[in-house]
Structure 1
């Protein structure tokens, strides 16, 4: 019976890893895909490689945190309980991925594990409270830092970077397989500055994938490892392969959502989002907090889009002697070498609507689902472990 439960647990862990790949590929490479720097296939490949590197190097520390620190007595991690926990995690994440919204794997997983501890009276409330506090603070920091950058500093940064993505042409970076060995090929007409910027945004996406591996591998394998079913090394390999499958398949929906639907990201904006969100995630991981990677990255995208959409200027009306507040669309003028003006000096002709830069309805759907999915996992796990006699708690 224990062997059957172990195999069942591994299958469910693979399902969780599959959905982690679908949920985290979008925040890492959505900006690069949305700016047409790389293809979805290339994003999935890079996600797979760098997720595994992060999982293998730093991931074991986070596995230990979820397996030991959050729960005061690891004996409650029975094989039966582990299968149920992983089922709730995978099922909730699948709902988010199916809706095209990348839900937080850390919030979903920690919620299910915490529900097990709460139902059995073995939850370390101090650890859970610290994690929950940072989950609230970190996205707010990401949103406001990105919003401030988008509203006040984006024109200057864009003038330094001055990169325009090829939205209607081929991706800026692609693999050339015409020779004996595949090589990196840049799109025709790409300047050195554009090529450098494209490499930067891809490199930062790889860093975010690495950060995701350090924190999210635990969400798939920590319960199985805590029960002593398998050694950590094979579990990391199994979980990483499952993540890769999810990155190549279901992640296409979340890549569309974060790359195109929320906000129209030029390459400069993609770099800003990646820098801010990856920095926050790395700091959280260094503190030993299971990072809410998806929420931080998503709120950084939302913050930058909001900041750019609400950027205003006051222009004196020569006839009336009054000042008029105008939403500035010059933030989308990413022509190479163009020096964007300071606030108060913009050309107000041909200004797009704020909705062209920032989609409130899509944003509301994303934020709603990112909170609903963890709640589904947590509530279902608690009710099951508290009231179903099968688990013996």
Structure 2
């Protein structure tokens, strides 16, 4: 009777561990708003996360797997089973260290760093591919920032009116069993506004889950696929199954707090950031570029807040140097006048309904700002330190092991 290779078993276990944590940490930000609004339950959120993640991984995600598993090294054959196990260990270890600090770290940046550390030690790093990835890592957050500035300055209030969710009594959707096949219909007290708003919140959660699949599946299985220890399709199935376990277990707790700093925002801001960041991630994944949702979302939050605060002056005044605003603003905070769940009419009295350039166009209470400089600096520093640690640890370890039992 054949026995399983311990290295193969260890690699699969580590890959599942990474994927399990992806499912646990990503489900909260994706479906936390929908669960908090009472639109869907935790189990439904976990199932939607699992299905949409798998769809993203199976369709676009394989392109990112190829980038990390083969293209990042000049000789893909250097990715032996031994190397893949150690690389996965660095990815999981660095992410665990980031989790200990309470700061969401980028799994994509950490995975690229761990693989790049090995490539440097083995003199196998494909510098052209690394340069392309680094370029997109600069462009993507900047694009997220400016897109968010535009939305915050010109469209935020309209979006806020459109997606504010009414909270009627009874179920949102029921089954009509009068025909041969039961079909879902709005509940007896469900209004059109409530149905549209609730559907939008769930759809945006599905988009986030899909984008996570396109990018994050590679972080879990690329080393194994690159080493030939497991096939692409098998790897996606195993990784997605581990994500599903995380989404249906530990994510049930993270959804209560909505997973990470992004979801400390009111409903409107959280969904705007989610749409912008997820769309950018899906676009980069389609190009085969591993993208960091966390980093893009962080800059999008800053951009959205800055755009909201900039409503107090016109573009001409800004160009002439006659107006300034602070990046740390209270314009996105969930104060008593911000419509989220059950109060779609609250925005009617918001001061930001004034025309852009009016002195009160962006006036909001000064207390409880969205973020402070110290917190922002800590988040950005840790988001960069974790990948650096993975890179440095991988490079030093493989350098020490050169000429030993590892073929590098």
* TM score, norm. by length of structure 1: 0.81
Out of 390, 393, 396, the residue aligned to residue 380 of structure 1 is 393
The whole-number CA distance in structure 2 between the counterparts of 1:121 and 1:270 is 43
How far off its partner does 1:152 sit? Answer: 3.8
How far off its partner does 1:284 sit? Answer: 1.0
In the TM superposition, 1:101-116 aligns within 5 A as 101-116=103-118
The whole-number CA distance in structure 2 between the counterparts of 1:123 and 1:171 is 59
How far off its partner does 1:354 sit? Answer: 5.2
The whole-number CA distance in structure 1 between the counterparts of 2:174 and 2:374 is 36
The whole-number CA distance in structure 1 between the counterparts of 2:291 and 2:324 is 43
3-state SS of paired residue (2:312): strand
Q: Which stretch shows the higher mean deviation, 239-248 or 379-388?
A: 239-248
> 1:336 and 1:139, CA in 2 relative to 1: closer, same or farther beyond 3 A?
same
In the TM superposition, 1:53-202 aligns within 5 A as 53-159=55-161, 161=162, 163-164=164-165, 191-202=191-202
Checking the alignment, whether the CA contact within 8 Å between 2:295 and 2:383 is kept in structure 1 is yes
The whole-number CA distance in structure 2 between the counterparts of 1:369 and 1:183 is 48
The whole-number CA distance in structure 2 between the counterparts of 1:141 and 1:87 is 32
Q: Which residue of 2 aligns with 1:50?
A: 52
The whole-number CA distance in structure 2 between the counterparts of 1:134 and 1:293 is 13
How far off its partner does 1:233 sit? Answer: 2.3
2:347 is the counterpart of 1:342: no
Checking the alignment, whether the CA contact within 8 Å between 2:66 and 2:222 is kept in structure 1 is yes
Unaligned runs of 5+ in 1: 315-322
> 1:164 and 1:266, CA in 2 relative to 1: closer, same or farther beyond 3 A?
farther
Write the deviation string for residues 279-305 of structure 1: whole angstroms up to 9, x where unpaired: 211221222212223322343244324
Q: Which residue of 1 aligns with 2:238?
A: 238
Q: Which residue of 2 aligns with 1:207?
A: 207
Write the deviation string for residues 310-368 of structure 1: whole angstroms up to 9, x where unpaired: 35637xxxxxxxx999988698532424443334275999x422534445554444333
2:370 is the counterpart of 1:369: no
3-state SS of paired residue (1:355): coil
The whole-number CA distance in structure 1 between the counterparts of 2:361 and 2:238 is 55
Out of 4, 14, 31, the residue aligned to residue 12 of structure 1 is 14
* TM score, norm. by length of structure 2: 0.78
2:256 is the counterpart of 1:248: no
Question: Once superposed, what is the RMSD of the aligned Cα atoms?
Answer: 3.7
Checking the alignment, whether the CA contact within 8 Å between 2:305 and 2:331 is kept in structure 1 is no
Checking the alignment, whether the CA contact within 8 Å between 2:310 and 2:325 is kept in structure 1 is no
The whole-number CA distance in structure 2 between the counterparts of 1:287 and 1:216 is 14
Checking the alignment, whether the CA contact within 8 Å between 2:170 and 2:188 is kept in structure 1 is no
How far off its partner does 1:47 sit? Answer: 1.3
Write the deviation string for residues 49-76 of structure 1: whole angstroms up to 9, x where unpaired: 1111121222222222222211011121
Q: Which stretch shows the higher mean deviation, 250-259 or 75-84?
A: 250-259
Write the deviation string for residues 132-171 of structure 1: whole angstroms up to 9, x where unpaired: 1111221122123213322443123323x151477xx999
Unaligned runs of 5+ in 2: 176-180, 314-322
> 1:130 and 1:163, CA in 2 relative to 1: closer, same or farther beyond 3 A?
same
2:361 is the counterpart of 1:353: no
The whole-number CA distance in structure 1 between the counterparts of 2:38 and 2:269 is 13
How far off its partner does 1:30 sit? Answer: 4.5
